[in-house]
Amino acid sequence: MNRYLIMLSLILSSVWSYGQNLEIRGKVLEEGSNMPLPGVNVLIKNSSQGTATDFDGLFTLKNVPTGSRLVFTSLGYATQEVVVTSSKELTITMSEDSESLESVIVIGYGTQKKKEVTGAVSILDAESIEKLNPVRVEQALQGQVAGVNVTSNSGSPGSGSNIRIRGITTNGDNAPLILVDGNRITDLSVLNPNDIKSINVLKDATAGIYGVQAANGVILITTKSGRKNTELKFQFDSYTGFQTTSKKIDLLTAPDFARYVNDAADATEFFVFPPEGTDWQDEVFENAAISSINFSGNGGTEKAAYGFGISYLNQDGIVGGSKNNFERLTARINFQYDILENLKLTANGLHTISEKQNLQEGGIGAVLYNAVNINPTLAVRDENGAFSLANDISQIEIINPLAQIENTFNTSRVSKFSAVVGLDYTFLKNFKASSKFQINHANVRDDVFRPEVFYGNGKAANFGDITDDNITNFVVDFGADYDDFTWDNYISYNNTFNDAHDLTVLLGTSLYRNKGFFYGFTGMTETGTNQPGQSVTDVGMTAEPRFNAAAIENGAEWFDVRLSSLFSRLQYSYKEKYLLSLVLRRDVSSQFSPVDDNNVGYFPSGSLGWNVSEESFLQEVSWLNNLKLRASYGIIGNDRIPSFAFITRLNGQATIDPGNINQISGLVFGSAPGELGNPNLKWEEQETANLGMDVRLFDNKLNFSADIYRKETKDLLIRPQASAVLGTTAPGSASPIVNAGTVRNQGFEFVIGYNDSFSDDFKFNVSFNLTTIANEVVSLNGRIPPVGGEFGVGLGITDVTRMVPGLPLGHYYGYQTDGLYQTQAEIDALNATAPSGTYSTVGDIVPGDLKFVDINGDGEITPEDRTNLGDPIPNVTMGLNIGFSYKNIDFSANAFASLGNEMVRDYERKDLYANRGVYMLERWQGSGTSNFVPRASSGASINTDIFSDFFVEDASFLRLQNVQVGYTFGDNFISSLGIDKLRVYVSGNNLLTITDYLGYDPSANTGAPLGGAIDKGFYPVASSYLLGINLNF
């Protein structure tokens, strides 16, 4: 009996325990920073009972049934659910959720719920950037944002990148507009990636609110800042590691090179070469150090919110080490203060100081160009220990690259300051007036010191006379100052009628000015020393003015751009279901003549949205969280051309001092015209259309977006070919810029992602994006096609790329090949049937030469047989991102692929004693030995001196951009240290590139629409291996 009573009491006790109500207390913290989150809603699921966290992120909730679920929600953060157990103390961490439909994102001159956005907008959050560890901000966009392609003109430390949003739209500047906390900047190198909270990319007519500066898209960056009513918290991030080259070009070894030279010279015996050779790439490439330190703080009081950060980056080059070093010091501050309940002050500042040691790169005479081309049988140093001289190579620019590094002293110093001060005044309940003044200042100083040096007989880089006791040096000092100012004033009205109609109206003005001055000195001195360190004033030389005050005043070396704008926007939402946005902007630009209002442009745009999932017939579909359809159309102007292009100025380089009178003729030499002006210039206009769809399924775990876009740029601002009779070939002159032609970009974007928490310990996410681009020059209005891009050295081939209707902008133009000539009989037969009696009129041919295709079928090879050989624009780009965390361990990886882009291999010097790629081992050495790689030649031939598809290579690639593994220490450990978070990680960047391209970097590009992907030895992107720490306290 007692056993049954005991069992009954246990059962009743269990039932009572399960059904009892508890008082739950807890704290809600922000993931990553561990800062308390005030204002978080805490609700018992399926009930109306709840509360909110206080100033310190604390909450108390009474009468909570055991086994119920608590739901934690806050705008901009991912929703959390927790099952109530016997524990009465909870600590909840909430992560920011840029994907949340209720999150607020930054748009032009305001913010908007993501659920109500009707344009093509992509978002990158701070967590994603942190995992990527980019040295430069733009590197974080590659593979993360659909429609965005980032190329680098060099992999050297401190070098810039080119950002292209949905292709190349013009023959001029294709860079997007970049705003940091609302302030325009032109160079993302001023920004520390760790300071970024979010990056929003506007890719369609949504950008129209910014007018002419937004034709190539807009990138909106928001930096981290504090929140009101939060205590001051600090964050320390640091990493250190090393870098290696990601690629070496496969070149001939010394023995293979010797055989090649003898074959080319038709020698019966090998020339005598040293038995051991030099791998010059091994000599110039080295492991280079890299380190970064970042310290920041954020907090707030009842009326103020503030944030600050300071960072330091030190990066050596994989070529030259400290001779190619880059240092950057960045400081920023964000401050908001409620002067009155309805008057808020905002002030943001950013200051960056950088110093870069430069080596010559990316072209003829560059260090890597020399390393690739120099004779591999030559030793680094001679028997006396001095650097060897490249006397055996007749080309004057090829020298010993290690001697070149040692004798290079080039320093660039840049100081940039950005600031914005604004006031926001709320009145009459629904109105807000805003005024913001922005300023950017940049100061650039380049110092070049050329010591007296001898690299070999007749070398172009030789300077001075080393046999003379007097040491002569050459000094160049160059400077530039840039300033731009923006003053925005706007007023907005927002109101909701009958809990259904939400209306926002914006009216504003913007004044913008951008100016720059250039100055410098060049000269020589005899100082008795051959070391740098002297400025122009120190050496006491007679300076030869390169830029002087009079020239600056007269406009010879300066620019001044001004823009006056009016803008308006209307946004309407009916129950967050039917969405409308209309924008109209009027711009007046100093880039065009005021005659006939050529300088005035009106640019309208509009977009529609339909949240289909809000319809009643879908309310019961539990697995569908969101379905939105979007459409947009707009016209955006572009005025990015050189200043004063509508007038002809007397600033040609043929200008001679008017006081210089010819003693014989008595003539006074006057001024010469510079670039020819065109008073009829007007706006370049881009029509952009977009159809899109956003879908979220299964409790927001699965999401995807799809967009079809079309951009057509009309009245292109181009500089076509013009007759030399006009004086366009004179020094400092050029043909006038005209409005001519149309370029079209169209394609498809697709993004899919999955994010799930399989348990409290295991979380997983994956995303994939794909973009297609079809670029075409539609018309040029009958103008002679612009050309550009030089191939080879001294060959006079300067039309390698062209802009021709019906083909992509910047396509390669040359001869298509169809194997090799195998026998003289084959050549004789072709000559016999050629109309002129010579089949190849473009150059002599012999067996083993490239066989050009007779495109026009006239029976002989002529310049008219040149054709499209490909283009540098990728047809498809893709990005893949994977991440997971298990308990305290986290992992992330991302990859990027580019398909369908071609590059020109032009880093090989056409000289008998210059090295060659290893592919020359497969060269033609007799009938039937090869049908792909032509014969070795010792002089001029169509194989080396004529541009053909033999030099055009598929540069498609797949790159593993980043892999990171981290470990976050548990609460028990960090609490004993008095800190909020401690995470350590190892990371690798640019770990693997799969490509058929033979050169260093298949992603390299100078950014020029014409000739940008002609590879004359691009500096390769570095692979980096890092050890880092994240510390919050």
For 203-255, give the secondary structure using H, E and C: CCHHHHHHHHHHCCCEEEEEECCCCCCCCCEEEEEEEEEEEEECCCCCECCHH
Tell me the average pLDDT across 816-830: 95
| 351 is a domain residue | no
| 63 is a domain residue | yes
| 991 is a domain residue | no
The SS3 call for residue 972 is helix
| 695 is a domain residue | no
Q: Residue 13: pLDDT band by 50, 70, 90 thresholds? A: very low
Q: Residue 544: pLDDT band by 50, 70, 90 thresholds? A: very low
Q: Residue 719: pLDDT band by 50, 70, 90 thresholds? A: confident
Q: Pick the closest to residue 817 from 862, 853, 869 (CA basis).
A: 853
Distance separating alpha carbons of residues 11 and 743, to the nearest angstrom: 79
1012: region left, alpha or beta (phi > 0 left; psi from -120 to 50 alpha): alpha
For the ranges 7-16, 390-399, 995-1004, the maximum mean pLDDT occurs at: 995-1004
Instruction: Give me the sign of the Cα torsion angle 735, 737, 743, 745.
Output: positive
pTM for the predicted model, two decimal places: 0.85
Q: What is the pLDDT of residues 446-458, one digit of tens each?
A: 888 888 889 888 8
Tell me the average pLDDT across 711-733: 75
DSSP code at position 138: G
pLDDT at 555: 42
- How far, in Å, are 133, 224, 307, 718 from residue 296 at the CA level? 16, 9, 7, 46
Give Rg (Cα) of the chain. 33
Which contacts qualify for 721-726: CB closer than 8 Å, 24 or more apart? Answer: 721/784, 721/785, 721/786, 721/787, 722/676, 722/784, 726/676
Q: Pick the closest to residue 959 from 456, 475, 247 (CA basis).
A: 247
Distance separating alpha carbons of residues 5 and 11, to the nearest angstrom: 10
Is the pLDDT assigned to residue 853 strictly greater than 70?
Answer: yes
Is the pLDDT assigned to residue 394 strictly greater than 80?
Answer: no
For the purposes of burial, counting CB atoms within 10 Å of the CB of 837, is it exposed (0-12), middle (13-18) or buried (19 or more)?
exposed
Strand order in the sheet with 41-44: 50-52, 41-44, 69-73, 80-83
pLDDT at 518: 78
Do you know the residue count of the chain? 1033
CATH of the domain at 47: 2.60.40.10
Tell me the average pLDDT across 549-567: 69
pLDDT at 10: 42
Count the Cβ atoms, other than its own, within 10 Å of residue 740: 20
The SS3 call for residue 152 is strand
| 28 is a domain residue | yes
For the purposes of burial, counting CB atoms within 10 Å of the CB of 164, is it exposed (0-12), middle (13-18) or buried (19 or more)?
buried
Is the pLDDT assigned to residue 19 strictly greater than 80?
Answer: no
Tell me the average pLDDT across 364-389: 92
Average pLDDT score over the chain = 86
pLDDT at 938: 82
Tell me the average pLDDT across 316-327: 95
Using DSSP bridges, classify how beta strands 110-113 and 104-107 pair: parallel, antiparallel or unpaired: antiparallel
The mean-pLDDT minimum among 225-229, 235-239, 834-838, 858-862 falls in: 225-229
Q: Pick the closest to residue 224 from 310, 141, 303, 150 (CA basis).
A: 310
Distance separating alpha carbons of residues 474 and 537, to the nearest angstrom: 13
User: How many structural domains compose the chain?
Assistant: 1
Task: Estimate to the nearest angstrom the gap between the alpha carbon of 41 and the chain centroid.
Answer: 40
Tell me the average pLDDT across 858-869: 95
Rounded percentage of the chain residues whose pLDDT exceeds 90: 54
Distance separating alpha carbons of residues 730 and 877, to the nearest angstrom: 42
| 280 is a domain residue | no
pLDDT at 100: 60
Q: Residue 553: pLDDT band by 50, 70, 90 thresholds? A: very low
Is the pLDDT assigned to residue 940 strictly greater than 50?
Answer: yes
Q: Which tokens sit at 843? A: 């150059």
Run of H or E residues at 470: none
Q: Which residues contact 4 (CB under 8 A, 6 or more apart)?
A: none
pLDDT at 82: 83
Q: What is the pLDDT of residues 484-534, one digit of tens each?
A: 999 999 999 999 999 899 999 999 999 999 998 877 666 655 555 666 655
Q: What is the pLDDT of residues 52-111, one digit of tens each?
A: 888 778 898 888 888 888 888 887 677 788 888 776 788 888 877 756 655 777 888 888
Q: Pick the closest to residue 709 from 631, 606, 809, 610 (CA basis).
A: 631
Tell me the average pLDDT across 412-429: 94
Q: What is the pLDDT of residues 966-978, one digit of tens each?
A: 999 988 888 788 8
CB 790, CB 364: distance < 8 Å = no
Distance separating alpha carbons of residues 400 and 454, to the nearest angstrom: 11
Q: Residue 276: pLDDT band by 50, 70, 90 thresholds? A: confident
pLDDT at 12: 39
The mean-pLDDT minimum among 326-335, 722-731, 1017-1026 falls in: 722-731
pLDDT at 273: 62
CB 677, CB 648: distance < 8 Å = yes
Q: What is the pLDDT of residues 185-221, one digit of tens each?
A: 888 888 888 888 889 999 998 888 998 888 899 999 9
pLDDT at 609: 95
Q: Which tokens sit at 181? A: 């906390």
| 911 is a domain residue | no
pLDDT at 275: 66
Q: What is the pLDDT of residues 679-712, one digit of tens each?
A: 899 999 999 999 999 999 998 899 999 999 999 9
Q: What is the pLDDT of residues 741-780, one digit of tens each?
A: 899 999 999 999 999 988 878 999 999 999 999 999 999 9
Full domain range(s) for residue 86: 19-94
Q: Residue 16: pLDDT band by 50, 70, 90 thresholds? A: very low
CB 372, CB 444: distance < 8 Å = no
| 42 is a domain residue | yes
Distance separating alpha carbons of residues 911 and 264, to the nearest angstrom: 11
Distance separating alpha carbons of residues 602 and 600, to the nearest angstrom: 7
Tell me the average pLDDT across 616-645: 90
Q: Which tokens sit at 607? A: 């977009």
